[in-house]
Amino acid sequence: MPCIKDGYDVIAQAQSGTGKTATFAISIMQQLDIELKEALLLAPTRELAQQIQKVILALGDYMGAACHACIGGTNLCTEIQKLQAGYPHIVVGTPGRVFDMLATSVTAKCIEMFVLDEADEMLSRGFKDQIYEIFQKQSTNIQVVLLSATMPAEVLEVTKKFMREAICILVKKEELTLEGIKRFYINVEGETRGIDVQQVSLVINYDLPTNRENYIHRIGRGGRFGRKGVAINFVTEEDKRILRDIETFYNTTVEEMPMNVADLI
């Protein structure tokens, strides 16, 4: 991305799956001076931080670029020792852990590029104060790159507060169409009494029937003519009242599915 390579602050808005991670990782590699520069990347989850680290290590392997992931679930003192001993060129982490690192003895003075990936997700998770504190510890002339799928008010507030004459890049949302696709539905409530498939041993209800009398017509076909059958029901919290009503109506108990359900079929 030339604008990142040229040192501009950048706001990139694009949907998930459009290649943002690889794009900004390549841009960081192009900017990186192995002898001098460092970059700090924030991601909303440890899984995404680890994914970004893998991409950067793969892309930067030929350069000898080192990337360290600062994420929760690891010993803080050990993390600090690793950073102080190795001083990786790129640090990627979650806001909480990076904030803890900077609050101790880890310095941010060498960081020249600050990247926020999935900024909308981070701010929606309540990391606003930590992100602001991390910003405050950076040099005033740091380059900022912000990537986000949406631009809510919280993200716009960050861009106004910490970015200078940022270049905005918008990747157009993919337009999906149903043209050329034939679409059908099956009226399971209207056909429950008419469908008769022999030798059915398993019935799965993806929802519970609104009419409790239809329940037996759905699952009863799994045990016709003396045969045994299994009925599995997908039940949400909202469905539990309907399930209790069915149990009372048929004087039966529907148990939670056991782990060995395959042995029952």
Expressed as residue numbers, the domain containing 217 is 178-256
pLDDT at 150: 83
pLDDT at 7: 84
Clarify whether residues 123 and 6 are in a common domain: yes
pLDDT at 42: 93
Sequential DSSP letters for 227-241: ---EEEE---GGGHH
**Residue for token digits 């507060």?**
161
Clarify whether residues 157 and 189 are in a common domain: no
Clarify whether residues 79 and 106 are in a common domain: yes
In terms of Cβ atoms closer than 10 Å to its own Cβ (0-12, 13-18, 19+), residue 11 is buried
Contacts of the segment 102-110: beta carbons below 8 A, 24+ positions apart:
102/133, 102/134, 102/137, 104/76, 104/80, 105/80, 106/80, 108/40, 108/134, 108/137, 108/138, 108/139, 109/139, 110/36, 110/37, 110/38
- Is 15 among the domain residues? yes
- Is 117 among the domain residues? yes
Helix (H) or strand (E) holding 225: none
pLDDT at 41: 92
Q: Of the candidates 171, 195, 210, which is a domain's last residue?
A: 171
- Is 25 among the domain residues? yes
- Nearest CA to 206 among 188, 226, 192, 194? 188
Clarify whether residues 41 and 126 are in a common domain: yes
Rounded-to-integer distance, Cα 208 and Cα 56, Å: 48
- Is 154 among the domain residues? yes
Clarify whether residues 110 and 213 are in a common domain: no
**Structural domains counted in the chain:** 2
Which residues of the chain carry a pLDDT beneath 50?
A: 194
Q: Of the candidates 171, 198, 231, which is a domain's last residue?
A: 171
pLDDT at 89: 84
- pLDDT tens per residue, range 101-121: 887 756 666 788 899 998 888
* pTM for this model (two decimals): 0.61
Clarify whether residues 15 and 142 are in a common domain: yes
- pLDDT tens per residue, range 121-145: 888 888 888 889 888 888 888 899 9
In terms of Cβ atoms closer than 10 Å to its own Cβ (0-12, 13-18, 19+), residue 164 is exposed
- Is 261 among the domain residues? no
Clarify whether residues 192 and 141 are in a common domain: no
> Which percentage of the chain shows pLDDT scores above 90?
6
Residue 5, Cβ neighbours under 10 Å: how many? Answer: 13
Rounded-to-integer distance, Cα 227 and Cα 200, Å: 9
pLDDT at 228: 73
Clarify whether residues 184 and 161 are in a common domain: no
Q: What is the CATH number of the domain that holds 217?
A: 3.40.50.300
Rounded-to-integer distance, Cα 230 and Cα 163, Å: 60
